[in-house]
Structure 1
Amino acid sequence: MNYQQTLDYLYSKLPMFTRVGASAFKKDLTNTIIFCEALDNPQQKFKTIHVAGTNGKGSTSHMLAAILQAQGYKTGLYTSPHLKDFRERIRINGKMIRKNEVISFVKNQEKLIDEVEPSFFEVTVAMAFDHFAKHQVDVAIIEVGLGGRLDSTNIIQPELSVITNISMDHTNMLGNTLEEIAGEKAGIIKKNTPVVIGEKQAKSAPVFIAKAKEMNAPILFADAILTAQNFKIRNAKLSLAVYQDDQIKYENLICDLTGTYQHKNILTVLQSIALLNTTTKFQVSNDSIYAGLKQVKKLTGLQGRWQTLSKNPLVICDTGHNEAGIAEVIKNIAQTPFEKLHIVFGMVKDKDISKVLSMMPKNATYYFCKPDLERALDANELKNQAKAFKLYGKSYPSVVDAKVNAMNSAKENDLIFIGGSTFVVAEAI
């Protein structure tokens, strides 16, 4: 099999959450444990940092990887889903796993795949662990796919657990309340292993504190220790100052991820690095923090976070796709100067569509579209639901069609925003 045939085999053979939704979510770790045991437990051969959360876990994972790379550590990074190429999920020092490595892994494990019948995600996690072990990384940042407690990544014993925040998402699998969702995310908290929580939220904090106590895990809330001030966006960079106990700790930090929500993730990352410095053998200098944050995209290949695709007209995309993520997107739109607003928009069926639509700007022309996957909501259906919220526009057969029509309609000083779903962004960039 060549690379494309290998991917076709994985996509067609294995249940894949991004395509079909809940039916691909395996509610225990059995398959992952069996698969990794057959590979001689590669996940035990390198140090890890485990990152969960409803929003921000991708950005946080990439920032941590960038800083550790800047310090000179050989750094693995496992994230999901991918936007353009499957290999984005598995990187070392920003470089994607090679095509021939994907091919040989699948070829060598074909018999095991037939026997275990794992999900797509379970195979991908095992592939990442195997890759990081073979290449002897110093540390790997492992982003949770979904939830935490039952996520395939949750067979690692990390140096540090990180949970960014909690909001309503994937309620059909993780629970219908913030407390239930927090309980699933808290499943990554391990015995005697420190945990950083990004945001102290009234409903989720008691869940995390109770779990940390049960596991004898030291727990810190980043936003209770650090505060961010003096935000500015200049030359496509975010600058801010970070204080601890009214004392400046980081002056003029610059980050190439410019979404206004990134300051929350930056505080989570800074507190995580501080904890690594005091509780593990990893030592990270302030110089590496500054250098890493300044070039996250270059060092790690991150895309899709308040990303400018072109100018005149300004075209920006963002992968925010649930209630909390869309709220942050809307804040960013409000802070961006434009004459007219055009929104290329698509969603998947298992999101709280009406809640998201109720939040979207009414002063925009909409270009409704359907990303190319089974879970996607039909563009006409989305258009009809949007009408009830006074959101008006036309529907288009594909994301590319919608984007082209928006580009043709927009004038030089207009803003085109593309989003609603990670998969809309993937097809637009």
Structure 2
Amino acid sequence: MSHIKPSQSSSLDDWLCYLEQLHPANIEMGLERVAQVANNIELLNTLSKIILIGGTNGKGTTARCMEAMLLAQGHTVGTYASPHLIRYNERVRINGQELPDQDHVDAFCELEQGRGETQLTYFEYGTLGALALFKRYAVDYILLEVGLGGRFDATNIVTPYASVITTIDLDHKEYLGDTRELVGYDKAGIFRTSTPAIVGDLNIPHTVTDYGEEIDAEMILSKRDFHYTPLKDGLRWQYQKYDMSFTKPAIPAQNVATALTALARLDLLPDESLLRKTLEDLQVEGRFQQLSKSPCVYTDVAHNPESARYLHTKLNELKNQGFKINVLIAMLADKDKASVINELNEVVDSWTCATLSGPRAEKAENLLAVIPQDKRASTRTFDSISSALDTLLPEQRNDTALIVFGSFFTVADAIQYWK
């Protein structure tokens, strides 16, 4: 198959199409190829301090929290996150802002010249492109979100200033294994000797601590070294000399505690009043994001059992305010749909299933088949998020909250519908 190589004057869309076709696999484990290309164009000798952020859930919100705290103090920050919701540009932020298309095109041109015959996957290309942009902008700090696992993820070619693991749960079982111990071992691959390794998970698999001890990482563990306690409308966080209580932030308390602990260990926390203000102002797209007040509509990226448990707590809060809960779910076929639905079913009054577009989409009928029997009869199916919303919104009553969830693609479709 011949691929016409784009140039510096090609559009970002042309480049992304080219990258999608370059490598036969979406995912290829191993770091040799990526490291080789990075060394060819000297991406790894950077003065920026790099914080690697791995975990099953909560990477994006933890990074967003750390980014906001660093920016509030006047540091320059590059943040790399994936996947994007609507535009590729969302994956790379400099000081909280997306970059123009041409910046990405220039970075891809540099990689294309530097990779020679080495094959790269789409994700590896994106990761190296981000590193090239961070080097060009010479940021003080880089927050690098790990794509899949840790040990063999493209992001793991760097030398981190600190490593963070947010949570450990089952996802991508075909690559990472089907127990939390196997997944944890893979994620712990981002630790380094004598380097802070902050773990936010509340039930840390022994494989994580075993590996950390084996390589002599400086481990800072949730429930041992730092603690957080959910309060009625906020949280309390404790670590070393810090003991602070906050009103309820827009992101999960566990991720706030993990982010604050990592920054505290690196001596990078803002003073108390700035810290409070920064937390209050924090918003993250697609994480229990309110799209509309009347009718009441939220959207959330939850797509595995752990994130569904968090969504369950948010829906319970709405329930306690007197709302009925209607859910529009659309997921990818490789996700554990039965577990996700079971985590939420008791709090949901009615389900609607939709089919996403794209080759990995789960069909609405297959989602319907795992809805528990007591609610299946009243569940409707639609062939898209937009057709479902066209029907659901005019019917929605004031005492009802509609939650559209199930994947990043689901959230993107919901946000697009509103725009």
TM-score (norm 1): 0.87
CA contact (8 A) 1:68 1:292 kept: no
Q: Mark the runs of 5 or more structure 1 residues left unpaired by the alignment.
A: 16-22, 233-238
Residues 259-315 of structure 1 show CA distances to partners (whole Å, capped at 9, x for unaligned) of: xxx1111111121111111xxxx5643344223322233xxxx31111101012210
Q: CA shift at 1:251, angstroms? A: 3.5
What does residue range 333-352 of structure 1 map to in structure 2 within 5 Å? 333-336=315-318, 337-352=321-336
1:250 aligned to 2:271?
Answer: no
Match of 2:379 in 1: 393
Instruction: Tell me how far apart the structure 2 counterparts of residues 229 and 360 of structure 1 sit (CA, whole Å).
Output: 21
Instruction: Tell me how far apart the structure 1 counterparts of residues 362 and 169 of structure 2 sit (CA, whole Å).
Output: 22
Residue range with higher mean Cα deviation, 187-196 or 113-122 = 113-122
Residues 132-174 of structure 1 show CA distances to partners (whole Å, capped at 9, x for unaligned) of: 0110100011111110001100011111111112111111110
1:422 aligned to 2:408?
Answer: yes
Residue of 85, 106, 109 corresponding to 1:107: 109
State the AA in 1 paired with 2:131: F
Match of 2:309 in 1: 327
State the AA in 2 paired with 1:269: A
Q: CA RMSD in A?
A: 2.2
State the AA in 2 paired with 1:347: M
Residue of 5, 13, 20 corresponding to 1:11: 20
How many residues are matched? 401
1:382 aligned to 2:367?
Answer: yes
1:209 aligned to 2:209?
Answer: yes
State the AA in 2 paired with 1:291: K
Match of 1:313 in 2: 295
Residues 319-370 of structure 1 show CA distances to partners (whole Å, capped at 9, x for unaligned) of: 1110111111112111113443221101111112222222232543222112
Q: Percent identity?
A: 27
Residue of 49, 52, 62 corresponding to 2:51: 49
Query: What secondary structure, in the 3-state scheme, does the structure 2 residue paired with 1:153 have?
Result: helix
1:65 aligned to 2:96?
Answer: no
Instruction: Tell me how far apart the structure 2 counterparts of residues 151 and 395 of structure 1 sit (CA, whole Å).
Output: 37
CA contact (8 A) 1:198 1:268 kept: yes
Instruction: Tell me how far apart the structure 1 counterparts of residues 307 and 13 of structure 2 sit (CA, whole Å).
Output: 33
1:142 aligned to 2:137?
Answer: no
Instruction: Tell me how far apart the structure 2 counterparts of residues 132 and 42 of structure 1 sit (CA, whole Å).
Output: 11
Match of 2:5 in 1: none
Match of 2:6 in 1: none
CA contact (8 A) 1:44 1:156 kept: no
Instruction: Tell me how far apart the structure 2 counterparts of residues 372 and 109 of structure 1 sit (CA, whole Å).
Output: 31
Q: Mark the runs of 5 or more structure 2 residues left unpaired by the alignment.
A: 1-9
Match of 1:235 in 2: none
User: Structure 1 pair 270/231, CA: closer, same or farther in 2 (3 Å)?
Assistant: farther
Match of 2:126 in 1: 124
1:2 aligned to 2:11?
Answer: yes
Residues 104-157 of structure 1 show CA distances to partners (whole Å, capped at 9, x for unaligned) of: 222343355672221110000001100001101000111111100011000111
State the AA in 2 paired with 1:3: L
Q: CA shift at 1:10, angstroms? A: 2.6
Query: What secondary structure, in the 3-state scheme, does the structure 2 residue paired with 1:249 have?
Result: strand
